[in-house]
Amino acid sequence: SQKIEQNSEALNIQEGKTATLTCNYTNYSPAYLQWYRQDPGRGPVFLLLIRENEKEKRKERLKVTFDTTLKQSLFHITASQPADSATYLCARPRGDDYKLSFGAGTTVTVRA
Amino acid sequence: DAGVIQSPRHEVTEMGQEVTLRCKPISGHDYLFWYRQTMMRGLELLIYFNNNVPIDDSGMPEDRFSAKMPNASFSTLKIQPSEPRDSAVYFCASSPADSYEQYFGPGTRLTVT
């Protein structure tokens, strides 16, 4: 089966530091991976999509990498702020390009 | 645009009752998805539609669940009869044809007692 796993359930970091989240997948490399942010009581919000042929993608203080050899994506939040505290979900297509499987999420808490 | 709209936001019902959840996708989006989120199982895809046609319902847990999309601006997810194990947050999401990004609604928190 095409699994997707986020290694850490929780990550606590000091404001200003870089948070690094890991997402591992099994079987064949997907055409892309996506990252979402979810705040308590709200629906997930799309952040970034990285394609299989892209090694790295950036958006403001966010950076995502895609390593097909390690079957892994890393999600970095640089210069973290308390407002970055949320749960971050990674997702991969499963079966077809529109059907997503989500990881369990990593809850990030940024301490002031 | 107002984003994806879901109603009700909260639903409390007794076991055996019928529950109908509603969703209005973002105008112009061709894809509509229904998800369920629980602590134990995370976010799971139940069914998705393309241009109002159900494409994949393999995630629907059992025959008690059904979904319809009578037009491009409205979809329903029905549970009949409801059971306590159906308690979860149900999300609707939509996506444009030229993108894989999904836009989620605020969710409906369902409690079946």
Max mean pLDDT among A6-20, A84-98, B78-92 falls in B78-92
Average pLDDT, chain A: 94
pLDDT above 80 for A97? no
What are the CA-CA distances from residue B60 to residues B53, B74, B102 (Å)? 15, 19, 19
Check residue A55 and give its pLDDT.
87
Question: Is the pLDDT assigned to residue A17 strictly greater than 70?
Answer: yes
In chain A, residues with a C-beta closer than 8 Å to the C-beta of B5 are none
Interface test with A, best of B43, B49, B55 (most A CBs within 10 A): B43
Q: What is the pLDDT of residue A45?
A: 98
**Portion of chain B with pLDDT greater than 90, in percent:** 95
User: Residues, chain A, total?
Assistant: 112
- Cα-flanking dihedrals φ and ψ of residue B85, to 5°? -70, -5
One DSSP character per residue, B15-52 reads: TT--EEEEEEPPTT--EEEEEEEETTTEEEEEEEEETT
Is the Cβ pair B31, A98 closer than 8 Å? yes
pLDDT confidence of residue B4 = 98
Give residue A94's pLDDT: 86
Q: How many angstroms separate the CA atoms of A31 and A91, rounded?
A: 11
Q: Which tens digit of pLDDT belongs to each residue from A52-75?
A: 999 899 999 999 999 999 999 999
> Residue B101 is nearest to which of A41, A49, A103, comparing CB atoms?
A49
Selecting from B43, B95, B106 the residue whose C-beta is nearest the C-beta of A102 gives B43
Do A99 and B107 make contact, defined as CB atoms within 8 angstroms? no
